[in-house]
Structure 1
Amino acid sequence: MGRFEPELNQSTSKKQKIKFDVEDRISRLSDDVLVSILSCLPIKVAATTSVLSRRWRMVWTFVPRLEFDASSTFLKIRNKTYGSMRSDIFIDSEKVRFVNLVNRFVELCPLPYIDEFRVCFDLDRSHKPDIDKWVKFVFEKKAKRVELDFARLIGLYPLKRSLYTLCPLSLGLPSSIPLTSLVLKWVDVSDRVLDNFLSNSPFLECLCVQRSRTLVHVRVAGPSLHLKSLEISGCPNLRSLQLHATNLLSLKYFGPQVEIPFENVPNLTTLSIGDYPYPPPARKLGRILTFFPQLQKLALYIEDAEGLQRRHREFPLMSQLKQMELRVSASDLDSLLFLASWLDACPSLHRLDLDWMWIRLDATRRIKKGRRIVHHSLKTVKMTGFVGETELCMFLMESSVIFLEKIVVDPNPAYTKGGPYENMDINPVRALAVRKRARHLKSKYDFGDKLVII
């Protein structure tokens, strides 16, 4: 590149000039360093560096992390064209562009190995030839982390939606797989295929399967199993879940009611279980938790708050629990003061996240009061979908106000976060009532800037 030679002032001799070298020093860096830099960027952005110069033309192809997430682009198109007769045309056109883009990257990749391959977009069985090509590429390149997320991004999930079926054996893939993480969302996977992954992936530490309709009997067991994190969610035809994994640290189960041998996963520190829209395993919550006094994080998704209140007024002692997440479906007629005994049984609890769904406002009902406790460890409380559950708020503030560092109140429910309706306001009348209640609480208790109203 050229050099710039400015004069310092008029008295400076023309022979006395300072030369500033503006040579592109970044391009002088080694290939390994440049690839490391580009690895921090989305792959689509990294590819645009190919136009900078001849030096950069092929550098991006050596990035070992291939992530293709066009969900935000898809949502922007849908929001802009919503209600238009041409909406589906634009969406189908975007799908074609996305598939062609992934195909191009797959064909150009010169690496013998890759670290990660991730695809997140609304695809189904109609794209099987292309997805098969990606799956074959992934396993031939001995990828360590693989994620296929074909969730529908907008609207209701049709019951007869045609999902892509993962069948690596039919593609002639190797039996030994160096996977450390496998995430399958809205992908049909059979019991046999999942068992093959577990048997032939000696380094597998993370396994997640969501919305598979062909999964019936899951068996996670084996003396050489190194699995540390397992999630089985929303698989409607599941009939059994056999667990025997002493290394398992995190388990999330959200689905039909099945018997889970919790005694065979003795080292869990994180447990997430839910009930909606299936018969709730959470009904046996007390018995389940007796297996895990060492739990540090507990997440519960509860549809029947009133029923849970009747069954679980007493909560087993969880002396190690640091974080609790509760998603509760209830009306304002229900009282959540039964959570007081839960908090009393969790003396080390540091953070509490509460998310309410489908709650009615009833400002005329009489406020109930619960027994008072003093909680020394609770520092942060976050309430999403908040409609002014005054009793619980009063209890939390009276029992923890001295020690709390922050309490966040958000009227928008958590299920809208990260989705197409995230920035849409809730009903303005409801929002006004919610914020009025929140301001009342703020004036009643000396919280200063600790109480944040979103």
Structure 2
Amino acid sequence: MDIAEDRISELPTEIILMILSLLTIRETARTSVLARRWRSAWASTPVLNFCQDTLYSFSGNWANIVNSVLSLHRGPILGFRLGRIVLCSSEDLDRWLSIVSSRGIEDLVIDFYDQYVPYTVHPSFFSCSSLVSIDLTSCKLEIPKDFEGFRLLKLLSLRNVALTDTILQTIVSKSEKLEDLTLIDCEGLRNIKIVASNLHNFHLFGAFSEVDLSGSLNIQDLFINWDGDGNGVWPPRRIIMSLTKLESLSVTGLLLFVSAVFAL
């Protein structure tokens, strides 16, 4: 037993933090019993995963748990992931985003628990220039006037997010490295225009009037699921034919136009 504990204690700090980054916050706390060096290591883990990991995860005050972890945490927070389990208020999320936005955040996941009352994302979110991956569910986006873009962003996933065509176009066009974009049942999108020269994967689910991909000609994987009433009118044939890098195409809910495309 002593030998095993010594070996665990001798692991390089980088390895310990890498292991902790793969665990949920509950599992991370439990590692404190492994060895002396692990007792406070959780407070430096660069990734915080607040998500369901046991049948009892809904017990306890999760807002207090997140507050406690953030107050004790030292060093950068590269990943901050809130699953639907975290029952919290908009004020709680505002406070947490304000904290992580100044700690080098790269990977942000927020799944707000109430899809009928979306969380209006705090303005500090738009100042996170270090973000590489964004995954939001049941949120609302309102861009501040001084938004300069996400210069490092590569992945953007929005599910049940309320925003406008203009807001989406602004975020995408100001994220020059964006490679992967997913939009699922987002409220407020009608005439979607995607200008992203480095975009490789685009998945779109929901009801809309038009999609303009003329500014994203390097798309390789395209999935469109039109979920409106009647027959969809997207897209013009010239746009689909201009996607010369396309390797995978799946379109549903647009039967009349799809038939015309494949009849060429």
Q: 2:83 aligns with which of 114, 117, 120?
A: 120
Cα distance in structure 2, aligned partners of 1:45 and 1:282: 49
Aligned residues: 262
* Post-superposition CA distance 1:126-175 (Å, at most 9, x none): 611211121112101120111111255xxxx6xxx222111225xxx784
Out of 118, 126, 130, the position equivalent to 1:178 is 130
Q: Which amino acid aligns with 1:47?
A: A
Per-residue deviation, 1:65? 1.1
Cross-structure match for 1:11: none
1:245 to 191, 196, 215: 196
C-alpha distance 31-287 of structure 1, shift in aligned 2 (>3 A): same
CA 1:237–1:123 in structure 2 vs 1: closer, same or farther (change >3 Å)?
farther
Give the deviation of 1:285 after TM superposition.
Answer: 7.5
Residue aligning to 1:189: 141
Task: Say which of 49, 57, 82 aligns to 2:31.
Answer: 49
Distance apart, 1:295 and its partner CA: 1.5
Sort the Cα spacing of 1:33 and 1:312 in 2 relative to 1 into closer, same or farther, 3 A.
closer
Map residues 236-385 of structure 1 onto 2, 5 A cutoff.
Answer: 236-277=187-228, 281=232, 284=235, 288-302=239-253, 308=255, 311-313=257-259, 315-316=261-262
- Cα gap change, 1:248 to 1:166, in 2 (>3 Å): same
**Is 1:165 paired with 2:120?**
yes
> TM-score if structure 2 supplies the norm length?
0.83
Partner of 1:206: 155
Answer yes or no: is 1:219 the counterpart of 2:219. Answer: no
- CA separation in 2, counterparts of 1:168 and 1:52? 40
Is the CA contact 1:256–1:280 (under 8 Å) kept in the aligned structure 2?
no
Q: 1:201 to 1:280 in 2, by over 3 A?
A: farther
Structure 2 residue identity aligned to 1:114? I
- Corresponding residue for 2:71? 107
Answer whether contact 2:209 2:234 (CA < 8 A) is retained: no
Question: Which stretches in structure 2 are left out of the alignment for 5+ residues?
Answer: none
Is 1:229 aligned to 2:191, yes or no? no
Q: CA 1:137–1:252 in structure 2 vs 1: closer, same or farther (change >3 Å)? A: same
What is the one-letter code of the residue matched to 1:182?
A: I
CA offsets per residue over residues 68-106 of structure 1, 9 Å max, x none? 112x65xx57xxxxxxxxxxxxxxx93753222222221
Could you report, residue by residue, the CA deviation over 1:279-318 in whole angstroms, capped at 9, with x for unpaired residues?
654754755532224212223343x7xxx2x5544544xx
Whole-Å separation in 2 of the counterparts to 1:292 and 1:238: 22
Q: Distance in 1 between matches of 2:22 and 2:35?
A: 20
1:290 is paired with a residue of what secondary structure? helix
Which residue of structure 2 lines up, in the alignment, with residue 36 of structure 1?
A: 18
Q: 3-state DSSP class of the match of 1:129?
A: helix
When the two chains are superposed, the root-mean-square deviation of aligned CA atoms in Å is 3.2
Q: Which moved more, 1:282-291 or 1:173-182?
A: 282-291
Cα gap change, 1:29 to 1:312, in 2 (>3 Å)? closer
Q: Distance in 2 between matches of 1:213 and 1:176?
A: 20
